[in-house]
Structure 1
Amino acid sequence: MNLSWLQTFVLIVEKKSLTKAAQVLHLTQPAVSKQLNSLEKFYGVPLLYRTSRSVEVTEAGKVVYNHCCRILAAVKESLVEVQALANDLHGDLLLGASTIPGEYILPTALGRFQSFNSQLNVKLEIADSTDIARMVTDGVIEAGVIGVVINNPALKQELIYQDELVIIAPKGHPLTEKKMVALEDLVAESFILREKGSGTRQVIEKKLQEKGISLDRLNIKLELGSTEAVVNAVAAGLGISLVSRFAVAKRVQNGEIALIHVDDLSLERGLYFITRHDRALTPVMESFYHFLKDYLVDSIPS
C-alpha cells in the first residue's frame, strides 16, 4: 500500500475523471491508471467503473473513498501538529481578503493555524478585491486572498482554489421549478448585485460578456456592499443574483432560497493568493501559505 495511491484515488473520485486527476497531480494519465490498478489489486475488487463521459464509484469504491479521506486527513493533521511542535511560530500575520474567502473560508483556516501556533497574532482585513490588492501593493498587509485577477504587474497572483458562483432566487420563483433554463430567460429578471470593484461583480460581468450579454442589458434593481446583504435581499423576494456557493450552501439546504440552473453557463472563478513580486514572504506568512493550500485541498468540499 502506498499513500500516493490513496491521494490519487480520492482525486479521481472527486474530479470524476482520470484525465483531470492527472492534470492536478501533474502526472500522465497512464501513471494515474497504474496507481488506480494497484489499489484495486490491493483490495481485490473494482473500485470504479468507466462510462463514456466519466467514471463512477462502485459500492466498494465508496467505502474505500470514505476511509481514504479520513486516513489522508489524519496524516495531514499529524504532520501539521508535529511541525508546529518543532517550530511554534510567533509574531504578526497581516492578511487581507475579499468577502467570500474573508467571511467563509479564512476564519476557520486561520483559527486552526493559530491553534498550532499559540504565540501568533492574526489580523484579517476584509474589503473588496480591488482594495485588498491596493493594500498589498502599498505594504499595508503582506498578502491577500481575492476572487479575481488584478491588472497590476507589481503583484504575484497564484491560483489556490476554484470557487463556483451559483444563481439564486427567492423560494418558489418560477425559474427554480425548471430543470434547466436558457441564459436569455434571466435578462428580464430583477438583479441584485455586489458593488463595482468586488471580485464577484467582475467575474459576473466577464462570464456574461463571454455569452454576449452586457450588464447594461440587465435590470439591476439593487447594488449592495456585501454578499450577505445580497443574499438577504434575494431571500426577501427582491430579485435574483449570482453569488459564491459558500455564501448560500446552508440557506439552500434549509430551503430559504433556491437555485436556478442555466444551460451551458460555466460560473467557476478562481481564488488567488496575492503578494508583492519584490518582497519575500516572512516565515510566518510562508508557513500559512503552505498551510492554506493544504487546508483548501483537505477541508473544503469540491
Structure 2
Amino acid sequence: MNFAWLQTFNVIVEEGSLTRAARALHLTQPAVSKQLRALEEYYGTPLFYRTTREIELTEAGKIVYQYSQKALDLIGKSRNEVQSLARIIQGELSLGASTIPGEYILPGFLGLFQQRYPGVRVKLEIGDSKAVAQKVAEGKLELGITGALIKGRNLRYELFFRDELVVVVPKGHRFAGRGSVTLEEFIAEPHVAREKGSGTRIAIENRLMELGVSPSALNISLELGSTEAVLNAVARGVGISLVSGYAARPRARVGELACLKIDGVPFERGLYFVTRKKPEPRTILRVFIDFLKEQRDSDHAGNDL
C-alpha cells in the first residue's frame, strides 16, 4: 500500500472524474489511472463503476473511501503533532562515539536530525570505546555509540546495528585481485592495527579467541590511533588490516585499496547505544535514539549502512 494511492483515490471521488483529479493533483491522467489500478489490485476488486460520462463508487469503493478519509485525517494529525514536537524539543545533547560511528555514520544522521529538530544543539565527542563508555558512566556524556561492550555497573547497552569487518590490502598487493583469503594467510601478513581499547581491536581479538587463535599470533607491525590512519598506512603498503566495511568501501570504490573476506570466517561486531541505567534518559535523548533507529530501519544510508 502506498499512501499516495489513497490520496489520489480521495481526490478522484471528490472531483468526480479522473481528468479533474489529474488537474487538481498536477499529474497526467495516465499517472492517476496507474495509481488507481494499483489500489484496485491491492484490494483485489474494482473501486469504481466506469461509464462514458462519470465514475461511481462500487460498494467496495464506498468502504475504502470511508476508511481512507479517516486514515488521511489521522496522518494529518500525526504530522501536526510531530511538527509540534519538533518545536517543543529543544536543548543540548552531549554524545560520544567510537571512530566508526562517529566519523562515518553519525555526521549524516546528525544533519537530518537537526533539520527535523532545529532547536537541538548536538555536541559529538569521538574517542575509543572504553573512553566513551567511561564518560557515559561518569555522566559526562548522555549517550555513547561504541563498537564494544565495556563492562560498567550503571551502563545499559542496546544494539544499534551490525558492522562487517573486511580485510584491506594495498591495490598492488598479491591478494588484491582475490575475493577472499584464508585465515592462515591473513594471520601471516604484516598488520596495521588500531590501538588497544578501540572497539575494532577488541572485536578482532575476541573473534580470534573464539576461533582458537591467540591475538598475539597477529604479526602487528604498526599500531595507529584512528581508522583513517590505518587505511592511509595500508594504502601506502605498510601492511594489511581488518577494518569496518563502512570505512573501507569508499576507498575501495576509487581504487585506493582492495577489500576482501576471510574464507568461511565472518568477522563482524555490534555497534551499541550505551546509556546510564539511572537516571532515566531525558525526553530529548529518547527522541534522538528513536530517530537513529528510524534512519537505520529506513536504510537511509543505502548500501553503506
What residue number does 1:162 align with?
A: 162
What residue number does 2:198 align with?
A: 198
What residue number does 2:254 align with?
A: 254
Task: Give, in whole Å, the separation in 2 of the partners of 1:135 and 1:212.
Answer: 33
What are the ranges of 5 or more consecutive residues in structure 1 without an aligned counterpart? 4-38, 45-75
Task: Give, in whole Å, the separation in 1 of the partners of 2:80 and 2:113.
Answer: 10
TM-score, normalising length: structure 1: 0.72
Task: Give, in whole Å, the separation in 1 of the partners of 2:279 and 2:100.
Answer: 26
Matched, 1:135 2:135: yes
Aligned partners of 1:81 and 1:116 also within 8 Å: no
How many residue pairs get matched? Answer: 234
Distance 1:149 1:189, change over 3 A: same
What residue number does 1:269 align with?
A: 269
Distance 1:221 1:135, change over 3 A: same
Residue 83 of structure 1 aligns with an amino acid whose one-letter code is V
SS in 2 for 1:266: coil
What residue number does 1:108 align with?
A: 108
SS in 2 for 1:260: strand
Task: Give, in whole Å, the separation in 2 of the partners of 1:179 and 1:105.
Answer: 25
Residue 277 of structure 2 aligns with an amino acid whose one-letter code is H
Distance 1:264 1:87, change over 3 A: same
Q: RMSD of the alignment, in Å?
A: 2.4
Residue 174 of structure 1 aligns with an amino acid whose one-letter code is R
What residue number does 1:241 align with?
A: 241
Residue 102 of structure 1 aligns with an amino acid whose one-letter code is G
Identical counterparts, % of pairs: 47
* Cα shift at 1:179: 3.8
SS in 1 for 2:162: strand
TM-score, normalising length: structure 2: 0.72
What residue number does 2:82 align with?
A: 83
Aligned partners of 1:200 and 1:243 also within 8 Å: yes
Indicate the larger mover: 118-127 or 174-183: 174-183
What residue number does 1:21 align with?
A: none
1:174-253 pair list within 5 angstroms: 174-253=174-253
Task: Give, in whole Å, the separation in 2 of the partners of 1:256 and 1:214.
Answer: 31
* Cα shift at 1:81: 8.7
What are the ranges of 5 or more consecutive residues in structure 2 without an aligned counterpart? 4-38, 45-74
SS in 1 for 2:111: helix
SS in 2 for 1:229: helix
Distance 1:179 1:112, change over 3 A: closer
Query: Hey, which bits of structure 1, 4+ residues long, moved more than 6 A?
Result: 79-82
Distance 1:260 1:242, change over 3 A: same
Residue 230 of structure 1 aligns with an amino acid whose one-letter code is V
What residue number does 1:152 align with?
A: 152
